[in-house]
Structure 1
Amino acid sequence: MEGEIEELRLAISKAGSLPPFDVVQDLLLSIGVCVRCVFRLFGVQGDVYSSSLLTETTVYGIFGELHGNRSDSTPKILLTQDLTGDKEKKKVYCNICLGILQFCFTNDGNDYNLDTSSKQQTTCLDNLAEVVANTVKAEGYQFHDFSVEISIPIITMANERAFWIYLKNKYGSQDWFKEMFHIEQISIKDALKLSVISSLQSHMNAKHCFGSSRIRLTYVHLDASSKLQNLLAKELASKKRKNDSSHDCSIEDSECVSDASIRKVLDLLEDSDFSECFALPRERESKPCHLTVVPCRMATFIGGRYLKYSRRVSQSRWIIDDERIGDASVEEIICNSVLQKCRGDTYKFHSAGREDMDVRMLGSGRPFLVEISNAKILPSSAIVKDIANTINYSKDKFVFVKSLRVLGNEAWEMMREGESEKQKQYAAVLWISRPLTERDIEKLSKTKDLEISQKTPIRVLHRRSPLVRKRIIHWMKVEKIVENGQYFLLHLCTQAGTYIKEFAHGDLGRTYPCIGSLLECRAEIIQLDVTDVIMEGFD
């Protein structure tokens, strides 16, 4: 205890920005401002905010000693004194932060209220950290690290403004007040983080840093906010009657007025007008803020390549008139396994292009990415391996995944690039309306980097914009199936986004040139497989 008091005494002695002792006494005892708000508004820096001894009683005593007051008292004795009268019994809260920096709040019907003793200050801080940690645990999150986001009532901004107006009116002529405008103040949010982070790390057994895991603390004080809203509404109405003019904005009699609206009204009011309706000292709040704790995690990405072996499986879920088309979808097979293991809220499936349901995806596989929203469990290498095994060894064996792993945000950019800028290889069984000749084989095989124009195919016009797309056929290779037959195997490499079926039959002239126009006959694809999607970063 003595060591902690010495640390606090040292911190206070170095806080040259604090005002004189009588001003601190006025703020703590008369105005009802908590110690942490006094410290932060006068720019006190450092770890002092997390000290359990940072109470009105202790600081009052130490500050008095350092300024030559109460020299007959010691901090140890002062710890047992009740300088605030019956404040503990009434449980009144800071006139600026509304108890936030006193670690007082209500949560799920439980009250975590104010006690002025240092022991109870430690308990209040531990209560806050424990509530946060228990919420994270109850919702099933695995947090190895975390960052904290804080939302506070807009009334705290009005409280701070009233605080500075009070100081200006009462102490504006004093030298210390003129010098304080060079001080960098600390916000309630930052002061709360400085206070609670160490305890949170201990309770959660996790490191505080900026990462994908976040905890949002939302403080709301409906009573105080409603009072502010009513006061501002009356002030605006009064000004309107006096000036007989309309204002740019107004506050309506509603519980759902936005913070932005209140902030705009506050900005409209001059200090003199603001003081008439909202001035210190005033009756202090007897209830703390309500605290809501919401843990969340930024999007998690798992990606790799998939192979599709069935011609009855679409890439995404296909429902027409409430009836499923096909046996399953690649998206559902992969994403349901990922979502189950990671315990996320929702998913999005991204792929480097797509194939029709009756087209198999073979060879190296098509790159894909699963974006998991708010995953409660971070996928480890063991979990990723388990996901792959679940998909690859399923009874149906429709889909196979390879190179599956956790990817960063950069994978999304790679995926978008791969949709239009990469090359893809296909193998197609074609039929033409006459026997294939050696001249046909030579003509197709010598075709290199052929530019074609494709209007949006008729079969997808209902869901795609009617555009003309320029695409490149890089090369083609022909294999005979039977001598002098009308069927042959065509291998081709094209720019991503090429409609291959339409390149064969021409789509009633909407794709030109096409296989039919090159060979001067009718052409149709009987079967089509994707054999390679050339794209780095997913192997």
Structure 2
Amino acid sequence: MLPLKEKDKAIVGKLLASGCCARCVLRFCCIGVPDAYRHGRRETLRQLRAFAEENHNCQNVGQLEPARKRSRLESEEAADEDEGEGVCVVCLGVLQHLSDASQAVQIADAVKKEKYEVDTLVLSISLPAQVCVRERSCWLPPCHFDQRSPRLARAKCGALGRRDVVQVKEAFKWIVQGPLARELGAVAVAAKSPLEVSVCFAHPETDADCHFLASTCPDCFKVSKNKQSAFTRMAVAKALEKIPDDKFLERSPRPPSRPSSGCAPPEVRCVHASVLAAFGARGFNFSSSGREDVDVRTLGNGRPFALELLNPRKSQLSPESMKNVQQVINASSEKVRVRDLQMVGRDAASRMKEGEEEKTKSYRALVWTQKSIREDDVAFVNRIEDLRVDQKTPLRVLHRRALAVRQRLVHSMSADLLDEHHFRLGLRTQAGTYIKEFVHGDFGRTKPNLCQLLDTHADILELDVESVDVDWPPALPD
């Protein structure tokens, strides 16, 4: 039984006419019953069409057709239905052609290939950013039949709020996790596990679908060196939160336009929590010697960190086993490396934290200046040593750090001129110095700052940590 009611008829008819697939129609009707999504998509589509057309005295959709009749109808009508259905205007085919048994086989094959020794896994789904945009565009029209009274219209059509709509990720998991568990045998799909299987969908029209958001909320979209596109899912979601419904409807087509193609077959990545698996631990507490902004790389020898394992089944690993864990971690990512992985006691971890305020750090930054920089400006910067700086809590962290003035020491600086408006700036500073604020001044909250020293506006374009000068942990022999 599809748990639809009489009040859902207007929504079902409107969404089908708009180009939504059968499972997206169920989502917008807020059907939270997993079994409803596990029926074949063609069979569900037929039932929805019949429901939308039947007389208004019927309260629920009838029972699904018997298996023999269903098989015969599918063989006779499959081609016609596929042609009429097209690619879903909301999920872009994820819940149509990319959530069947063959998809479960592909995910299972990726897990089996790595030969992980685990009994559970977590399924993580990544969708194209424009799914959020198309979902909002398709959700709004059924609730705006009566433009003079949108609230009354929403009540008449029986729709709930956007937060009540079943998410594409959730529906995909409901469909796939059963066949996936059968393919993997002893490995179960769970809410927590050392093994995360990430299924990443992509679509070629993401930038085109989201482009209008950039002109409406330009502050939400910033290109960085770590991002291939400014239209990330997080940035798009932030922009959609800022745009009121009426303004959104002016800029976005409704219903959403037909995509020229569906999502490509997904990329499947396996992320294994190697340390947890090696020790049989159920969780961990992570601590590190300081931290950096998300757009700042830590190079050189890296940053000291410690993991406290929770409820481990093993208390020791041999040096060879620990080295193997380190190799597995380093082979799993191109952006993160671990060195000198070893067991340490609580006292050793405490020494790591004690050195946070005492250590020095070396940085390399790309700086832009408004006025032209000459060689004598570079020579002036190179001569600066042991500069004491007063830094009032930066505006960007004021929401989580107490308002205070902290004195920090810039031990030395070196500048390499690139052109008249750009130069590379090397700094060696006391730990805890806000480098970005030292460069641009943070509206005068950091004094002195590079803007004052060079008598021009300046900003930082790139920043890397070249070294964290803490002699911890002890170096291990190769």
| TM-score, structure 2 normalization | 0.51
- Is the 2:123–2:198 contact (alpha carbons within 8 Å) kept by the matching residues of 1? yes
The reply on whether 1:344 has 2:328 as its aligned counterpart is yes
Partner of 2:31, secondary structure, is coil
Root-mean-square deviation (CA, aligned residues, Å) is 4.3
- Give the whole-Å Cα distance in 2 for the aligned partners of 1:35 and 1:256: 31
* Aligned equivalent of 2:87, options 93, 98, 109: 93
Write out per-residue CA displacement over residues 49-106 of structure 1, whole angstroms, 9 at most, x where no aligned residue.
Answer: 122255312332356558568x9999558945999996634883211111111142xx
- For residues 104-503 of structure 1, the aligned pairs below 5 Å read 104=98, 125-170=100-145, 172=150, 173-174=152-153, 175-177=155-157, 180-181=160-161, 184-205=164-185, 206-209=187-190, 210-223=192-205, 225-233=206-214, 248-249=219-220, 256-257=229-230, 258-290=232-264, 291-298=266-273, 299-300=275-276, 302=278, 334-340=318-324, 344-346=328-330, 349-352=341-344, 415-416=345-346
- Is the 1:100–1:289 contact (alpha carbons within 8 Å) kept by the matching residues of 2? yes
The alpha-carbon distance between structure 1 residues 337 and 59, as it changes in their structure 2 partners (threshold 3 A), is same
Q: 1:217, CA displacement in angstroms?
A: 1.1
Letter in 1 for 2:132: M
Letter in 2 for 1:204: L
Letter in 2 for 1:184: D
Partner of 2:259, secondary structure, is coil
- Is the 1:145–1:207 contact (alpha carbons within 8 Å) kept by the matching residues of 2? yes
Q: Name 2:454's counterpart in structure 1.
A: none
The reply on whether 1:61 has 2:45 as its aligned counterpart is no
Q: Name 1:31's counterpart in structure 2.
A: 18
Write out per-residue CA displacement over residues 144-198 of structure 1, whole angstroms, 9 at most, x where no aligned residue.
Answer: 2111111112211111211222112226544443663498332111111111111
- Is the 1:93–1:285 contact (alpha carbons within 8 Å) kept by the matching residues of 2? yes
Partner of 1:97, secondary structure, is coil
- Give the whole-Å Cα distance in 2 for the aligned partners of 1:278 and 1:84: 33
- Is the 2:24–2:90 contact (alpha carbons within 8 Å) kept by the matching residues of 1? yes
- Give the whole-Å Cα distance in 2 for the aligned partners of 1:19 and 1:72: 16
152-161 or 249-258, which moves further after superposition?
249-258
Write out per-residue CA displacement over residues 270-294 of structure 1, whole angstroms, 9 at most, x where no aligned residue.
Answer: 3222222212224311322231111
The reply on whether 1:42 has 2:29 as its aligned counterpart is yes
The alpha-carbon distance between structure 1 residues 269 and 138, as it changes in their structure 2 partners (threshold 3 A), is same
Partner of 1:153, secondary structure, is coil
- Is the 1:143–1:213 contact (alpha carbons within 8 Å) kept by the matching residues of 2? yes
The alpha-carbon distance between structure 1 residues 183 and 252, as it changes in their structure 2 partners (threshold 3 A), is closer
- Give the whole-Å Cα distance in 1 for the aligned partners of 2:118 and 2:84: 38
173-182 or 268-277, which moves further after superposition?
173-182
Partner of 1:280, secondary structure, is coil
Letter in 2 for 1:55: T
Letter in 1 for 2:12: V
- Is the 2:132–2:236 contact (alpha carbons within 8 Å) kept by the matching residues of 1? no
Which ranges of structure 2 fall in alignment gaps of 5 or more residues? 280-316, 331-337, 361-478
Letter in 2 for 1:40: R
- Is the 2:322–2:341 contact (alpha carbons within 8 Å) kept by the matching residues of 1? no
- Give the whole-Å Cα distance in 1 for the aligned partners of 2:85 and 2:157: 31
Q: 1:248, CA displacement in angstroms?
A: 4.4
- Give the whole-Å Cα distance in 1 for the aligned partners of 2:64 and 2:4: 20
Query: How many pairs were matched up?
Result: 291
Q: 1:128, CA displacement in angstroms?
A: 0.8
Q: Percent identity among equivalent residues? A: 20
Q: Name 1:314's counterpart in structure 2.
A: none
The alpha-carbon distance between structure 1 residues 208 and 249, as it changes in their structure 2 partners (threshold 3 A), is closer
Answer with 1 or 2: which has the greater Rg: 1
| TM-score, structure 1 normalization | 0.46
Letter in 2 for 1:264: K
Letter in 1 for 2:254: L
The alpha-carbon distance between structure 1 residues 81 and 232, as it changes in their structure 2 partners (threshold 3 A), is farther
- Give the whole-Å Cα distance in 1 for the aligned partners of 2:95 and 2:118: 25
The alpha-carbon distance between structure 1 residues 86 and 274, as it changes in their structure 2 partners (threshold 3 A), is farther
Q: 1:261, CA displacement in angstroms?
A: 3.2
The alpha-carbon distance between structure 1 residues 35 and 335, as it changes in their structure 2 partners (threshold 3 A), is farther
The alpha-carbon distance between structure 1 residues 255 and 15, as it changes in their structure 2 partners (threshold 3 A), is same
- The structure with the greater share of residues assigned to strand is 1
Q: 1:231, CA displacement in angstroms?
A: 2.9
- Give the whole-Å Cα distance in 2 for the aligned partners of 1:300 and 1:292: 25
- Is the 1:335–1:349 contact (alpha carbons within 8 Å) kept by the matching residues of 2? no
Letter in 2 for 1:280: R
Partner of 2:140, secondary structure, is helix
- Is the 1:217–1:294 contact (alpha carbons within 8 Å) kept by the matching residues of 2? yes
Letter in 1 for 2:208: K
